């Protein structure tokens, strides 16, 4: 197989392409990162989360946050894979080689990050992307990919849950990209309301069942409730983007564009805060979630300031340079 340097001279043509931004996708990624930051604040600090210690706070955390944003992040990774693959087809004769490099160079980011956050997902995303998404890119049409993703997700939900959901959710996201992300976002508002109503009703019922059964994360009940809640959040954001709240929600787009930088930087900020506040010493959801929210506010502010003059976040730029094996222009003259 060609090395990245060989590929850059023999296979890649033109400049590295910049996929067209879809604001709703960036906002959804920003929302997912917000939830993940809150959850990671609890996980990274080792805060006790057992039901007797947490009470109402515990079940609020379990039904509204824990494993509720991770499915969105995974779905969007598969979606972004499809969007990026389509974009690089216009710039290279071997788009899958570019994607292999992109996923391959995500591994060291994940491996280094895992030294600080053993439960991080970047390394898993890179491996699953290579093993699942690249072969799936040879499949015709979107129906087969979507069907495989649905089956894989259902099997994982009924057996293991957790990281085993990633392959199926990747395929569902990739299938959505193949169908057309913009086509999905152009669905009539009335249909989005129906979808939201159905997913919300299902999420409420399944979350109530989880609480009634006192089912902890990783159980079948918690996993299915998490998927339904994640779908509800996605439908709600898409619907709210069609209201007067769109402008406020768009403030999340920059942090969504810099999700890799934000995800890694949040770990550093959470560890620093825990060193001072000792968040993990007792089950205090108020403290943990407040710190997580504060970390996310810092991420938003940094993303807004950085993207005023740059096209990509710091780690996103480095990742892109490694992918194309060349320096990619980043700084803009815009003030």
Q: What are the distances in angstroms from CA 59 to CA 7, 284, 285?
A: 51, 13, 11
210-261, pLDDT tens digit by residue?
Answer: 998 888 778 899 999 999 999 999 999 999 999 999 999 999 999 999 999 9
Q: Residue 64: what pLDDT?
A: 95
CA of residue 232 relative to chain centroid, distance: 16
How open is the CA angle 51-52-53, to the nearest 5 degrees? Answer: 90
58-107, pLDDT tens digit by residue?
Answer: 899 999 999 999 999 999 999 999 999 999 988 888 999 999 999 999 99
CA 160 – CA 164 distance, rounded (Å)? 6
Q: pTM of the predicted model, to two decimals?
A: 0.90
Q: Residue 20: which pLDDT band, with cuts at 50, 70 and 90? A: low
Q: Residue 333: what pLDDT?
A: 56
Q: Residue 161: what pLDDT?
A: 81
Q: Residue 14: what pLDDT?
A: 41
* 302 has pLDDT over 90: yes
Residue 194 CA neighbour count, 13 Å, CB half? 5
Per the DSSP assignment, residues forming a β-bridge with 331 are 310
Q: Residue 3: which pLDDT band, with cuts at 50, 70 and 90? A: very low
Q: Residue 216: what pLDDT?
A: 78
**What is the sign of the dihedral through the CA atoms of 46, 269, 102 and 91?**
positive
205-224, pLDDT tens digit by residue?
Answer: 999 999 988 887 788 999 99
CA 257 – CA 299 distance, rounded (Å)? 11
Q: Residue 325: what pLDDT?
A: 93
Question: Contact 88/99 with Cβ under 8 angstroms?
Answer: yes
Q: How many CB atoms lie within 10 A of CB 201?
A: 12
151-162, pLDDT tens digit by residue?
Answer: 999 999 988 788
**What residue spans of the chain are helical by DSSP H?**
4-10, 23-45, 51-64, 70-88, 95-114, 122-128, 134-136, 143-159, 166-179, 181-185, 189-213, 220-240, 246-249, 253-257, 259-277, 285-306, 314-324
Q: Residue 199: what pLDDT?
A: 98
DSSP state of 309: T
Higher pLDDT, 291 or 93: 291
Mean pLDDT over 34-59 rounds to: 84
Q: Residue 252: what pLDDT?
A: 96
Residue 134 CA neighbour count, 13 Å, CB half? 18
Mean pLDDT over 17-37 rounds to: 88
Q: Residue 50: what pLDDT?
A: 65
């Amino acid at each position: 197989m060609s090395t990245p340097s060989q590929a850059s001279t023999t296979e890649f043509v033109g400049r590295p392409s910049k996929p067209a931004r879809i604001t709703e996708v960036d906002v959804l990624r920003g929302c997912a990162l917000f939830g993940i930051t809150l959850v990671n604040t609890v996980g990274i600090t080792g805060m006790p989360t057992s039901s007797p210690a947490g009470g109402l706070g515990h079940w609020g955390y379990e039904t509204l946050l824990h494993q509720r944003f991770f499915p969105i992040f995974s779905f969007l990774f598969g979606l972004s894979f499809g969007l990026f693959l389509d974009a690089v087809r216009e710039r290279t004769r071997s788009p899958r080689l570019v994607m292999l490099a992109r996923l391959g160079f995500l591994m060291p980011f994940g491996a280094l990050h895992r030294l600080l956050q053993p439960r991080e997902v970047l390394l898993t995303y890179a491996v699953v992307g290579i093993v699942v998404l690249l072969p799936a890119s040879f499949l015709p049409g979107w129906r087969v990919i979507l069907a495989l993703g649905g089956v894989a997700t259902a099997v994982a939900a009924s057996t293991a849950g957790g990281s085993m959901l990633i392959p199926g959710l990747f395929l569902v996201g990739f299938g959505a990209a193949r169908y057309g992300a913009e086509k999905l976002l152009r669905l009539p508002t009335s249909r989005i309301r129906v979808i939201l109503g159905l997913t919300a009703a299902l999420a409420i019922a399944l979350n109530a069942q989880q609480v009634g059964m006192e089912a902890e994360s990783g159980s079948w009940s918690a996993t299915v409730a998490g998927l339904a809640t994640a779908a509800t959040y996605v439908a709600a954001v898409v619907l709210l983007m069609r209201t007067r709240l769109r402008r406020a929600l768009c403030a999340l787009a920059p942090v969504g564009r810099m999700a890799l930088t934000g995800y890694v930087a949040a770990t550093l900020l959470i560890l620093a805060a825990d060193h001072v506040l000792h968040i993990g010493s007792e089950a205090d959801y108020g403290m943990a979630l407040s710190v997580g929210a504060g970390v996310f506010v810092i991420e938003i502010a940094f993303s807004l300031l950085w993207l005023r003059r740059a096209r990509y976040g710091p780690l996103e730029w480095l990742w892109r340079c490694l992918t194309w094996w060349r320096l990619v222009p980043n700084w803009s003259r815009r003030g």
